[in-house]
Structure 1
């Protein structure tokens, strides 16, 4: 299926991805992993919730850890440009037969709760509590030294359908994988903020959250994290990498938190702000698509992911299979 024509004038203006909320079964263990090992900064803590931000971020949080019975992803958050954009977003989603509900969220202004056609729970806001800058307080840096949240990647039962919908609300495709036999999309990377992606979709049982990524200064920070995790009880939590993606050119590492939620540590992709940026196409069977150096990903990377709370999972329409590590 051909890519849809880029929509430069969407019905409302999304600035970027903002935050994820996870339900975690052991709040103390999760806090230790995200704060002490990865190096995110705690901005709030009580008996049921821990919020954290990365070093460059001024918003109150980019990740919310909420005590829960099951390890699921509760919602993916996005920041819009203005309060008027929230009203336009509500009208848009309701016009598509999707829910549009105003909800109260701590540290956020007016917040719209909805979902996409696949069932991924989404929320949009224009204003979140702002915190003092800390990116030059180098005494606070630890772990992998995360600078900012970078992107979400979700399993989709129809990547073509997901791309069509997110294209309509202004996300632009930067790179994509096409199955040569069916000409259907197997994966796609879409952005709002001018990097390779704010949102990506991977063919698979869905909707599920594949991973959340954090941007770090250099590949050496990833090496430091590997040394730290391998000597502090987290060796089994290292899933894939380090390596360099063919898609996005990013240097990467995939790790799992104590509940199995997948986190990517990510740096070195490229700028995509030009409105006439041309998407890069990859063949599903190209071994350099996954890793520029040719090493395939493990089976867990293609099959495992975080459930969204209360959302049923269905089988993908496309049955094509990428190269999988033995």
Structure 2
């Protein structure tokens, strides 16, 4: 028989696993009574998962919920803990109020909070265009597309003096929403509080609506200031009421009508639109009222026992009209 010569089997070489001397990140230290221990290398991650068990008709167990906390062991680093749990290192630091150079020690319990996924960016609207046709204007194009004229001009490098021609193609961007106007308190005039300024503003508005000249409005403002301090009083001398201290007993209206600020102001101005008709005489019903001295014109309407007191309000009324009118 021939003897077979068997070659020796190749020996399997063992590869030594060399662990890094230090792991980047913050090191968890364990101190002994004599010296600090070296950081223990982290356990190697699994390279593959075991095969799923064969189904035998038994109910399938639910997946294990990912832990929400982790207790630090010797040799741990925040970087290593975050990586092992699929988290961002900065997120773990932030969730535990740690600085990047903070030291963690065995026994510390860290919260494992995954970093929130950024919200997807809203898709940008595709830009629209408009081809200019004969007769088009930029303002008409902007209006038809629901955007402002300035938005279209700016998007196309145009000014209000620019000329567009048939065949030109204009970009129509989305119009940015106008910011909500900030709440602004109504203006007050010098020497008047908010209530007085509001009443003065009403006297001015009614005068404008009736076509009264500025001088007539100044007379109304000064008269109301002298009679009621520009306040809608529900009391006065005898039965006098309201801004102009009109009296129900002399035909100026019922108490409720006189306390209606707008109605009493229209009655003071009088004229063709006087709510009282010809029952009372307002400023516009006095012949030549605009040629009378300031105090005389007011006195012709009010018939006051103190006619000279109206004159002191002519100059302040001029300021009130300038500020509020």
Superposition TM-score, scaled by structure 1 size? 0.20
More strand by share: 1
Q: Whose radius of gyration is greater, 1 or 2? A: 2
Superposition TM-score, scaled by structure 2 size? 0.20
More helix by share: 2
Q: Which has the higher relative contact order, 1 or 2, with Cα contacts under 8 A spaced 6 or more apart? A: 1
